[in-house]
Chains A and B, each alone.
Chain A
Amino acid sequence: MAIPFLPAEMPATADTPAADHVIVFQDVAIAFEDKMVLDGVSFDLPRGETKALFGVAGSGKSTILKLALGLIKPDRGHIWVLGQDITQMKEQELFELRRRVGIVFQESALFDSLTVRENVAFRLMEEGKIPEEEVEKRVREALSFVELERTIEMFPAELSGGMRRRVAIARAIITQPEVLLYDSPTGGLDPVTSTTIVELIVKQRDVYKTSALLVTHRLQDAFIMATHRFDRNTNHMERIPKGERGEVPMTFLLLRDGKVIFDGDAHQLATTRDEYIREYIS
């Protein structure tokens, strides 16, 4: 059921990936200690779209995010991020590119020794070109987006798991990146907190039109994203009427044994005849 990784309009050369695709994986393979984790994975993420990655534990979902950020290199294949082939780039060159990509790690990965303010402002402070007043304003804006302004002086150890995820989202969006990578943002959280995080992801998708790759174990979270949109007037997400659901830029990608076995929208996923996928989503 996997769709071809390169649409017809995309030139199949290493130098010129389509401009409207923010991430392109082409025949990517990687093994850890002789165990093949990804084997010929190909997909693309068009600009403005959110793609949810599924698969059983150890299927390589988080590895895809790390590859997309250049944190690890593939053994084979090519990865384009924002038009650049990152498989050929050195670490110093990647630092520039990573400024345009945000990531929310599985366990938040906030810096223990820094306050919430310093964590969220980290990227801006490192750039060192922005006046302190501007940094403070943007930190408060980002924390206001995740509704955690009151925690600005606190340390990560003083926050709950859900609050840490929200601070991690604030840290990822402070520079308004073109692509966001979410690694199990609702993993281990209670249903109410999970819904809050899902709402923030939907808000980021619909308000700022940010492209995103989302790794999750919770199918229901991805279906909520596919069936809801953010209402700026009520500041909450709302269910989309059935006839308009196709308008949501949301697709699903399923991995099995290191290969892509499905890449399509919610309707295609719900109507698939593949036994494994039907069992997985049931």
Chain B
Amino acid sequence: MAAGDLLSNIELISPSEFAKRKIASIQEYSILAMQSVANIFRRPLYVADLVQQADLVGFGSLPIVLASVFFTGAALALNSATSLSRFGATTVIGQLVSIGIVRELGPVLAGLVVAGRNASGMASELGSMVVTEQIDAMRALGTDPLKKLVTPRVVATVVMMFFLTILGDFMGLLGGSFVATLLLGLDSHEYWSNAWQTLVFSDVFMGLSKPLVFGFLVATVGCYYGLSTKGGTQGVGRATTEAVVTSMILIIVVDVFVTRFLMVILGS
């Protein structure tokens, strides 16, 4: 294909049209996100769908969340040891790993892993339903797809993210503990004692608030891209990629604002 043919296939849009489309997308996403929450208070409640999604998101993501946070905890301990040894302060590794994992790395890593695994799954599943007219069929059969498909996914992801982060945090500390005791020769009791005692309410509150926000973002972004799919199977692939990229970027960006917001609220 000649370069001219390739260029002729590229859709050229004006900056104002581009801006209009982006604003329309944000508006549609906001409506979907708000309705997914409002539907929690409307009957019927799709409990079976919610449990199924909780199983998919929670148990399905458990091994990779645990593994990723475990090895990050270990790597954090190793890196910390290099710096702390210069000051002869390797005994505070437990504190450093604990703060780093609980406040920041645990929630963010769990969020990124769940985004990679579940935002893509939701976008591709709902996208396939769109292109095969199953979403239209659902509406035609008198059922609200937002209530039946989106709300259970959002609730399940938010709840499961919370518990995944708790378990992930523990595994991160365990990873740090392995490095501290097996490689650096520190006392295990001292490590755990330091790690535990250094945590205050604001650390735990911050660490367990973030997964709720990240879970909401992952599920709503995944569902939004899935339900907005256009253009057949190619469109499903595009929606899946966009869902993963957007949810991951949003987690990283929103994390900064949530951290700052909670610091102001908690005074820490």
Instruction: Tell whether, in the assembled complex, residue A95 and residue B144 are in contact, meaning their CB atoms are under 8 Å apart.
Output: yes
B133 at the interface (CB under 8 A from A): yes
Q: Which of B135-143, B200-208, B213-221 contacts A (4 or more CB under 8 A)?
A: B135-143
* Partner pick for B133 among A99, A101, A105, A126, CB 8 A cutoff: A105
- Residues on the B chain within 8 Å of A107, using CB: 132-133
Interface residue A196 (Cβ < 8 Å from any Cβ of B): no
Q: How far is the CA of A98 from the CA of B143 in the complex (A)?
A: 9
Q: Which of chain A's residues have a CB closer than 8 A to the CB of B138?
A: 111
Interface residues contributed by chain A, number (CB under 8 Å): 24
Residues of B within 8 A of A101 (CB): 140
A57 to chain B, nearest CB (A): 16
Query: Do residues B142 and A98 form an inter-chain contact, with CB atoms below 8 A?
Result: yes
- How many chain B residues touch A (CB < 8 A): the figure is 14
Interface string of B135-158 (1 = CB under 8 A from A): 011111111100000000000000
Count, A-B residue pairs, CB within 8 A:
52
Instruction: Identify A122's interface contact among B128, B133, B141, B144, CB under 8 A.
Output: B141
| Bound-state Cα–Cα, A207 to B215, Å | 52
Q: Is the CB of B139 within 8 A of A71?
A: yes
A95-B142, A95-B143, A98-B141 given as contacts; is B134 within 8 A of A112 (CB)? yes
Would you call A71 and B141 a contact (CB within 8 A)? no
Q: Is B185 an interface residue (CB 8 A)?
A: no
Return chain A residues, CB-CB under 8 Å to B139: 69, 71, 91, 95, 98
Of all chain A residues, which has the CB nearest B43? A128
Q: Is A96's CB under 8 angstroms from B142's CB?
A: yes
Q: Are A111 and B137 in contact (CB under 8 A)?
A: yes
In the complex, residue of chain B having the shortest beta-carbon distance to the beta carbon of A122: B141
User: Does A103 reach chain B (CB closer than 8 Å)?
Assistant: yes
CA distance A111 to B143 in the complex (A): 13
What residues of B have a CB within 8 angstroms of the CB of A128 in the complex?
A: 44
| Complex interface bits, A88-99 against B, C-beta within 8 A gives 1, otherwise 0 | 000110011011
Verify A66–B134 contact, CB threshold 8 A. no
Q: Is A209 positioned at the interface, with any CB of B under 8 Å from its CB?
A: no
Q: Are B142 and A109 in contact (CB under 8 A)?
A: no
Q: Which of A114-148 contact B (CB under 8 A)?
A: 122-123, 126-128
A111 to B49, CA, bound (A): 14
Docked-complex contact B141 and A126, CB < 8 angstroms: yes
Asked if A84 is at the interface of the complex by the 8 Å CB criterion, the answer is no
Query: CA separation between A111 and B128, bound complex, in Å?
Result: 11
- Chain A, interface SS category: mixed
Bound Cα distance A98, B142 (Å):
6
| Cβ-based interface call for A151 (8 A) | no
A105 contacts B136, CB within 8 Å?
Answer: yes
Q: Is A195 close to B, CB under 8 A?
A: no
Closest to B135 in A: A109
Q: How far does the alpha carbon of A125 sit from the alpha carbon of B44 in the complex, in Å?
A: 11
Write out the residue numbers on chain A whose beta carbons fall within 8 Å of the beta carbon of B136.
66, 71, 105, 109
Closest Cβ of chain A: how far from B134's Cβ, in Å?
5
Do A109 and B144 have beta carbons less than 8 Å apart? no
- Structural contact, A109 and B133, CB atoms closer than 8 A: yes
For B111-148 the 0/1 string (1 means CB < 8 A from A) is 00000000000000000100011101111111110000
A123 touches B142 (CB 8 A): yes
B143 x A109 contact (CB < 8 A): no
Question: Is B140 in contact with A69, judged by CB distance below 8 angstroms?
Answer: yes
Docked pose: A71 CA to B139 CA in angstroms: 7
Give, as a whole number of angstroms, the nearest-CB distance from A281 to chain B. 29
**Separation of A110 and B140 alpha carbons in the complex (Å):** 12
Smallest CB separation, B202 vs chain A (Å): 43
Judge whether A103 and B137 touch: CB under 8 Å: yes
Q: Determine the distance from Cα of A134 to Cα of B137 in the docked complex, in whole angstroms.
A: 23
Once the chains are docked, how many angstroms separate the CA of A91 from the CA of B133? Answer: 17
A247 to chain B, nearest CB (A): 31
Q: Is A106 an interface residue (CB 8 A)?
A: yes
Could you tell me the distance between the alpha carbons of A92 and B147 in the complex, rounded to whole angstroms?
A: 11
Residues of B within 8 A of A96 (CB): 142
Contact A106 B133 (CB under 8 A): yes
**Hey, which bits of chain A sit against chain B, CB under 8 A?**
66, 69, 71, 91-92, 95-96, 98-99, 101, 103, 105-107, 109-112, 122-123, 126-128, 171
Of the A-B pairs whose beta carbons lie under 8 Å apart in the complex, a sample of 23, sorted by A's number, is A69-B139, A95-B139, A96-B142, A98-B139, A98-B140, A98-B142, A99-B142, A101-B140, A103-B137, A103-B140, A105-B136, A105-B137, A106-B133, A107-B133, A109-B133, A109-B137, A110-B137, A111-B137, A111-B138, A123-B141, A126-B142, A127-B142, A171-B141
Ordered nearest first, which 4 A-B pairs have the shortest CB separation?
Answer: A109-B137, A109-B133, A95-B142, A123-B141
Chain B interface residues toward A at CB < 8 A? 44, 128, 132-134, 136-144
> Could you list 14 further interchain pairs (A-B, Cβ under 8 angstroms) beyond the known A66-B136, A127-B142?
A71-B140, A92-B144, A95-B139, A98-B139, A101-B140, A103-B140, A105-B133, A109-B134, A111-B137, A112-B128, A112-B134, A122-B143, A123-B141, A171-B141
